[in-house]
Amino acid sequence: MTKSRKIWLDVVRATAILCVVLCHSVEAFYRPVLLGQLQVSFPLWNIENLLFTVGRMGVPLFLATTGALILPRDYPDVSAFYKKSLLPLFLTTEIWIFFNYIFCCVIEHQTFNISRLLLEMLFLKSSSLSHMWYMPVILGCYIALPFLSRLLQTSTNLRQYSLLYVLGIIIFFIIPTANVFFKEAITVIPVFRSQLDTGLWGSYYSFYIITGYLISKHQMLDRFKSQSLLFGIILAFVLNSTGQYYLYSHHYYQSAFLYWYSDFAIFLIGIFTFELLRRRYHNKAIIKFAPVIEYISRCSFGIYIIHKPILVVLQKYFNHFTTASVHIQMPALFFASLFGSLILLYPFKSVWKKAGVLLFHIK
């Protein structure tokens, strides 16, 4: 493990990307269930629900890591940050929006349309591959991060923001979670719509970033024992799963937002997991499998970029050439896309390093 690197953040990043790959591997089979297009047995539903929920931890962990890494720093020259961090990320995103569009034209037989491609590259239309939704989100966050960092760094008493933080949790997480049920299952209660203008507050994504900073820099959750956090994770999972199964069993299919990042349980599970990983590895000088963890961490962005095209190809193969059960196909997709990504990225990390930085942000 390189001395200048923070071991615990490498562990978090490696965990995050494993979760993302797991999420997309399970989603191929669980999405039709969520949309009411497929009915499955209760045991299989539980397996898919568990794996999909674990997979959803990837984005919260990545966002919290962004807060832990970027917000504690000083940015006297914002343009320098944009040039060093924002511009390379933007260029990489544009390159992969183009590549993914061509990929979909070739593999998915999507009709080539230059107008559609330009709209995607201008972030005016969703990318052809669904996992790229995250890139405009993180780019938008990067634009504001230097200013948010300056605000937090110059604040001598962060407790003055407590009311704002609590209101943000209510507006961005608790109300959307309740609305999942009010939309279909409990129609006697109208859907809640906050009339407060929260445009300057950011969004639920920014709350993951800020919370990651508060945990890393100010040990926000130190007052809670690890056992309490673990219990909180289990309780949040059980309650969320119970709610989701209620919706599924009663054929309420209009919303899958109990799995989205605005869900309060997903927020708690993600943030508590981040804190538990910090506690476990923060003071570790040496950990098992350190070279493997660092390699996965360094390549995490690249894995995020290319695992999805690999999954698309594998799913096409599985659909045509195998009748294996879901229990076999899900782990097969996970391991094949993960190791396929790691193998493809290896020459970009060890030989074609400049291309690796440009295309995959391997550092």
Report how far apart, in Å, the C-alpha atoms of 151 and of each of 147, 157, 212 are: 6, 11, 16
Question: Would you say residue 148 lies in a domain?
Answer: no
Question: Would you say residue 215 lies in a domain?
Answer: yes
- In this prediction, the residues of the chain whose per-residue pLDDT falls under 50 are none
Residue at token pair 């559609």? 116
Question: Would you say residue 143 lies in a domain?
Answer: no
Catalogue the long-range contacts made by 316-324 (C-beta closer than 8 Å, 24 or more residues apart). 316/107
- Pair of tokens at residue 3: 């001395």
What is the count of structural domains for the chain? Answer: 1
Report how far apart, in Å, the C-alpha atoms of 69 and of each of 64, 65, 172, 255, 358 are: 9, 6, 23, 34, 21
pLDDT on residue 4: 66
Question: Would you say residue 185 lies in a domain?
Answer: yes
Helix (H) / strand (E) containing 347: helix 326-350
Question: Would you say residue 68 lies in a domain?
Answer: no
Question: Would you say residue 53 lies in a domain?
Answer: yes
Taken as a whole, the chain contains a residue count of 363
pLDDT on residue 265: 97
pLDDT on residue 272: 98
Question: Would you say residue 175 lies in a domain?
Answer: yes
Angstrom distance (rounded) from CA 113 to CA 115: 5
pLDDT on residue 51: 97
pLDDT on residue 341: 97
Q: Rounded to two decimals, what is the model's pTM? A: 0.94
pLDDT on residue 158: 79
Question: Which domain, by its residues, includes 328?
Answer: 7-60+162-360
pLDDT on residue 1: 53
